[in-house]
Chain A
Amino acid sequence: MKSILIHLVIVFLIMSCSQEKEIRNVDIYEIKNIGDLSTTEYTVGKIIKLNDEANEWYEYGERKILISCKAKIKAGVNLSLLEEGDIVVSGKKIVIHLPTAAITSFEMNPNDIHTEMESISGFRDKFTQTEKNLFLKQGEVAIRKDLRQTGIIKDANDNAGSFIKEFYRNLGFEEIIVIPKNVENEK
């Protein structure tokens, strides 16, 4: 009975010092008027690799993981950046100074993320969801970086030009000139 009482006192002492993480009460949102014309959609895939070998004397065993993921990226032009004077009409001729393309949206759907292989040996812990999210964040950064090497922006510029030309042709214009306008509109 005495030992139970001592244990109880210890447990209550620990509890009294405990600090529970408080969940933030979130009520913030943002509504923005935009004018993005997305003209190209790329779907890319990546295998995220991690080999966590024992680095310290007290660690025994290793952990390995392979996660496959996909990202859907859209690129296009922000037409809300068009200013007065960017569209010049003279009779059946129209000249448009079109803002250069940029990434308009980036999505990594949870349905397209799969752990393909997970190997734990020795006394190592399993990978937690927090750790997996950290690897996915790094994967996302790598995808965004690699995107610059693809032709997504060029394709988006070309497709935007074609769409605009087709659109104005349908409106009855005979000569349509699209001139790229350099603006910073990367998202």
Chain B
Amino acid sequence: MKSELFRLLKNIIAIGTIIIVGYYAYNYFFKEASNELTIDKSPMHIESIKAIAEIATISYKDEVVMDSIEFYRSEKSVYDPREWIRIYDRNIKRRITLIVKGEVKYGINLNDENYSIRSNTDTIWLYLPTPGILDVLVSPSRTEIFQESGIWTDTERKKIELLAKQKLKRNAKKLNLGKKAKVNVIRFFKSIIDDRKVVIITFNHD
């Protein structure tokens, strides 16, 4: 009776081991198959339509890497076999690395209140707002999740993506593109205005 119970236990352990090994083998070999998942068809709805007048004169394209790592807080013990995986993982609990490609656009956003034109027979006076950043463009197709280990929530990922946007903006500001955008705005308007007249452009018109 005792030997039968022992045999039963041995069988259960053997089957359990096979299931666990099989599960990990499946995860190792077949997990990439999830890349083939395709979304269902669903309609797109228009939420708003707006008439605008934005003149973009500088486009700055950049790529930033955002790496977020969380380590185990406690020290690992080499004597505890359960913690050996931590040695393999360099004590990293979870990690996510995003490569975000984005575009920063500089220019002016015109409306009835911030721009005006005056002219006489030989001179044109153009009052414009100061050029600045119009858009920091990011989208999923330009975002690559380079590596992901552990569980990451949507909120955490969103936070990393927003930090990436800020980084893109900072990089653009470092290059002093505001000044360049101003020069281009002047060039832009002079190219579409009758060159027989003198054009005087004044910025910071509010």
Give chain B residues whose Cβ lies under 8 Å from the Cβ of A182: none
The answer, yes or no, to whether A74 is at the interface (CB within 8 Å) is yes
Given contacts A23-B67, A111-B162, contact A128 B52 (CB under 8 A): no
User: A4-B81, A29-B62, A132-B154 known; A110 and B137 CB under 8 Å?
Assistant: no
A contact patch SS? mixed
Closest CB of chain B to A109's CB: distance in Å? Answer: 8
Point out the residues of chain A lying under 8 angstroms from B193, CB to CB.
171
How many B residues touch A, CB cutoff 8 Å? 80
Is B45's beta carbon under 8 Å from chain A?
A: yes
Closest chain A residue to B160, Cβ basis: A110
Tell me how many residues of A have a C-beta within 8 Å of chain B.
Answer: 86
In the complex the two chains form, is A130's CB within 8 Å of B148's CB?
yes
How many Å from the CB of B42 to the closest CB on chain A? 5
> Which A-B residue pairs are the 8 nearest by beta carbons?
A136-B140, A110-B161, A170-B117, A49-B40, A29-B62, A146-B44, A30-B61, A38-B54
Query: Do B58 and A32 touch across chains, with their CB atoms under 8 A apart?
Result: yes
Interface pair A26/B64, CB less than 8 Å apart: yes
CB within 8 Å of B: which A150-174 residues: 150, 155, 159, 163, 167, 170-172
Assess the A139–B48 pair: CB atoms within 8 A. Answer: no
Taking the complex as formed, is A47 at the interface, i.e. its CB lies under 8 A from any CB of chain B? yes
17 further A-B pairs in the complex, CB-CB below 8 A; given A71-B139, A106-B139 = A23-B97, A32-B61, A34-B56, A40-B49, A41-B49, A48-B42, A52-B37, A79-B192, A105-B105, A107-B137, A107-B138, A110-B162, A114-B154, A142-B39, A146-B44, A159-B53, A170-B117
- Complex Cα distance, B109 from A39, in Å, reads 10
Question: Would you list which residues of chain B between 44 and 98 have a CB under 8 Å from chain A?
Answer: 44-65, 67, 78-79, 81, 84, 87-88, 96-97
With A79-B192, A163-B53: A115-B154 Cβ-Cβ less than 8 Å: yes
* B171 at interface by CB-CB < 8 Å: yes
**Chain B hits for A181, CB < 8 A:** none
Given contacts A49-B39, A107-B135, contact A42 B48 (CB under 8 A): yes
Is B52 a contact partner of A44 (Cβ separation < 8 A)?
Answer: no
Which residues of A sit under 8 angstroms from B103, Cβ to Cβ? 105
